[in-house]
Structure formats: C-alpha cells, structure tokens
Chains A and B, each alone.
Chain A
Amino acid sequence: MSRVFHYSPAIPVRDAIGFSTRSLYSAMLSAGLETYLVCDQDSISSAPIFTLNVEQMLALRPGSQDLIIFHHSFLDQNVDRILSLPCKKVIVYHNITPGHFFRDAGLGWLADACDEGRQRLGSMSAMFDRVVGDSEFNVSELEARGYPRGHVIPVFYDDLFFRRPFDDAEAELRSFNGSCINMAFIGRFVPNKRPDNLIRIAALVGKMSGRKTKLRLFGKLWDRTYFRTLWRLVEDLGLEDAVSFELNVPREGLKSALSSSDAFVSASEHEGFMVPLVEAFATGCPVVALASSAVVGTCGSAGLLVTEPDLEQMAARIVCIAENPDLKRSLMRVQAQRSEDFSSLKTLNKWNSLLGEFLPTSLVKHENRV
C-alpha cells in the first residue's frame, strides 16, 4: 500500500498553511491511509506531535508507490533531497512574496531569500506529477515559470469554527463597541501587507466620519525595526488610542473581533490566497480590500474591492458600510454565500478528484460530490 508524506518546511499549529496541511493529513488518516507529516528539523518543536523530520522520512525509504505532497512557500534547504526521491510528487504552491517588498523596507536578508526561492521555482518545473496552487494567481505564476497547467485547490480553513455562532451570546454583546467605527486586520506585520496604509486609512476614516475609530491589527511580529516604524507612524498621526497591535491572539479572539467589527480592511499588495478574507466572510464581517494579487480571486463577487491603492477611496467605503445598514447587509449576505465555496467538504472533494489515481481508497464517502 502506498504511503503519503505531507512535507512543509514548517507546520506551525497556528498558521494557515499549517492548518491546511494538517487538515488533508487528518482526512487521509480518517480514510485509513498510512500517512505522515514531515517538516524540517529546525521547526519540529512547533509542529504537531508525531511529525517526522526529513531524516526520519528518508529512513522510511519512500519508493515509487509512495506520494509526497510538497508544500512550497519559501526558499527551502530540503528541496534537492526531497525532489530526488523516486516517489510520486505533488507540489502545492502557496506563493513566495517577491523580494522587493522587503528590500524597500530594509529587510535585505528576507528579500534575498524570497528572490532566490522564486528563482529556483523554474528549475523544479519538471519534477512533479501534479501541480496545485491554492489560487488561480498561484497557478498562473507557476505556469509562467514553465510548469504544466495546475489545479486550483484552496487551502482548508476552519469553516466549522468560524461559521459557528458564539456559544455565549452575552459575551458576544460585550465585545461590541457601537460608538466607534471598528476595523480589523489579520496578518503578519510585513511590508507587502501594508499595515502602514491601514493606519493611514484609520486616520482618514476618523476625519471623514467625524466619529471615533478603532483599528485592531492582529498578527505576528517578524521584524522589530519594521514594527517600530509602524508604531512611529501611529504616534505621528496621533492615533495611539485608535490603533492597537495585538500579537498571537487565539482564534477565539480573532473570531470575536471579526464578528464585532464594521469592516475587515486589507491594503495588502501581495497575497497567495489570504485566508483571513474567508474567515471574515464566514463570521459576517464586511470586507474592504485592495484588489491585488490573489485577493481578487479569493473574494470573487464578494467584498468591496478598490482597484487602485487609493486610501481615501478605501476609507470612504468603510464609512459607507458603517453608515449604510442596507449595504452592510447585502455585503454580508454575498460574503456568506462566497464562504461556502471554501467549505472543507468542497476542498476535500477537490483533493479526492486530483489524487484519486494515486490513492487506494477514496477520501470522501461519495465520490460524485460537487
């Protein structure tokens, strides 16, 4: 019987790619397959228990009947060893951010690693039996680098959790602050996501509406120097009371913030999929976003997208949503419908169709699901 190895350099517990990798692994375990999570030794402490490191996987001698699902989103020191194995291989491309976003912000080391990772993408194009991208944007990027046309399969997100209403209605009410225009963003504090522009937008929303504003930025800290520049911008604009940076907040806190905000705002200029958009859709938080990269495909017809990085236009849309209940309601309705396209059931069906010929058993109970 074939074995399936899910390899990603890191499989952190609280991370979108980590969650998606674990979801497919769990579905395979439930289907009775022999399957393993594998990551780099340097990241093993943050991976789920029972995750193998690369050496342990190699010791199992993966052969021609086995399958490696290779998640790729950064320069990876294990690429050559893994791709030289005689087993079947599927690449899942989550995108590598172009280096210029980091170089412009003084993060040269990160920029160089990203650019090298992107450069090496082309040399791997003939190594895979199947090509998967989690968005049309990612699939097109691979195609431009010589890969065969790939399959679009979105990442798994925790749909059951984000769709489920709060168990405690009173607690939900307490999280609501009706006197403010509340905005939220979820994502790492990195230059391509443009948290600096979100801060500027918060200032504009306050001026345009004449109301208090609150922008909550939820994320992870990557570089202290860059973070300090963001905080300086907050001080320069006098927004110390209006902007908060909230680090490593548990998902219950994220859900609570989304379901009590007037808008989820994104000014990100480069995304490979952007899971928080779908989480906002599922929790009923209107989205205002810059129409960039994969954001357009993830939103589909949902959300209010702004085609140019025009901060005044974005601020105006947030004020419109906060002051127009009909617009807010219709946005939430379309978004809830869109979130259904990313349900775990549908994503698993797509994987089942793709991997059917490689696996001895189906991942879903009924194979002709939509």
Chain B
Amino acid sequence: MDRLFQHRDATYAAALGQIERQLARLEGRVDALAAENAMLSTAPGIDAEWVLGRHQIASSAMKKEFANILDLMRTMLDEARAIHEISVKNGK
C-alpha cells in the first residue's frame, strides 16, 4: 500500500512539474509573439498575408501545446480519483 501511494505521489509530482514547464514555455512564446506584434506595428508596409500566416502557425502550435497540458491534467485527475477510491476502500 505504501509503495502504491509513493508511486502515485511521484506521478503527481511529475505531472505538476511538466504542467509548470509547459505553461512557462507557453508564456514565453506568447511574450515572443507580443514582442513581434509590437515590432510589426511600427514597421512600414505590413504584409497582411504574412501576418496571417504567422498567426496561423502560432495558433496551431499553441493548440498542440495546450493539448499536452490537458492530457497531463487528465492523468492527474485519474490518479487523484484512483487514490480516492483506494482510500475509501481502505476506510471500509
């Protein structure tokens, strides 16, 4: 039982660490986009097609990154649910 809880605890800590890592990466990429937008706003002769292309690339990349965070959150939920079930059974 102790080993099982230790394993669940490690999984939980790892999932938290990865979510944190990915959120920070996402924040950094948004910062880069904001900096690029600021640069574009002062650039002469903006190419609308290019801006559109860049935004499409950025949005699809971010969707992928969000998808992974959601996966990790689902893993955490499953873990929490399983731990809860075990503790309920143990209580009975």
- Closest Cβ of chain B: how far from A262's Cβ, in Å? 9
What 0/1 pattern do residues 358 to 370 of A give for CB contact below 8 A with B? 0000000110111
Inter-chain contact B25/A284, CB cutoff 8 Å = yes
What 0/1 pattern do residues 48 to 80 of B give for CB contact below 8 A with A? 011001000100010011011001100100000
Q: Is the contact region of chain B dominated by helix, strand, or loop, or is it mixed? A: helix
Interface residues in B, total, Cβ within 8 A? 39
Cα of A329 to Cα of B24 in the assembled complex, Å: 6
Judged by a CB distance under 8 angstroms, whether B36 is at the interface is yes
- Closest Cβ of chain A: how far from B34's Cβ, in Å? 9
Chain A contacts for B61, CB-based, 8 A = 163
**Which range holds the interface residue count of chain A?**
20 to 34
Chain B contacts for A325, CB-based, 8 A = 20
Inter-chain contact A370/B43, CB cutoff 8 Å = yes
Chain A contacts for B32, CB-based, 8 A = 336-337, 340-341
Judged by a CB distance under 8 angstroms, whether B35 is at the interface is yes
Q: Is the contact region of chain A dominated by helix, strand, or loop, or is it mixed? A: helix
Chain A contacts for B57, CB-based, 8 A = 345
Inter-chain contact B36/A370, CB cutoff 8 Å = yes
Q: From A165, A282, A329, A365, name the one whose CB has the most chain B CB atoms within 10 angstroms.
A: A165
Cα of A356 to Cα of B14 in the assembled complex, Å: 48
Judged by a CB distance under 8 angstroms, whether B40 is at the interface is yes
Inter-chain contact B27/A336, CB cutoff 8 Å = yes
Judged by a CB distance under 8 angstroms, whether A304 is at the interface is no
Judged by a CB distance under 8 angstroms, whether A124 is at the interface is no
Partner pick for B17 among A178, A341, A368, A369, CB 8 A cutoff: A178
Judged by a CB distance under 8 angstroms, whether A333 is at the interface is yes
Stretch of A58-66, A166-174, A189-197 on the interface side: A166-174
What 0/1 pattern do residues 15 to 57 of B give for CB contact below 8 A with A? 1011011111111110111011001100101010110010001
Judged by a CB distance under 8 angstroms, whether A161 is at the interface is no
Inter-chain contact A366/B68, CB cutoff 8 Å = no
Inter-chain contact B47/A332, CB cutoff 8 Å = no
| A–B pairs, 19, beta carbons within 8 Å | A163-B61, A165-B65, A165-B67, A173-B11, A173-B18, A176-B10, A176-B18, A259-B18, A259-B21, A325-B20, A333-B27, A336-B31, A337-B28, A338-B28, A340-B33, A341-B32, A345-B57, A365-B50, A370-B39
B-contacting residues of A (Cβ < 8 Å)? 163-166, 169-170, 172-173, 176, 178-179, 259, 282, 284, 325, 328-330, 332-341, 345, 365-366, 368-370
* Other A-B pairs, 9, CB within 8 Å; known A173-B18, A178-B17, A345-B57: A163-B25, A165-B64, A173-B15, A259-B18, A329-B23, A333-B24, A337-B31, A340-B32, A370-B40
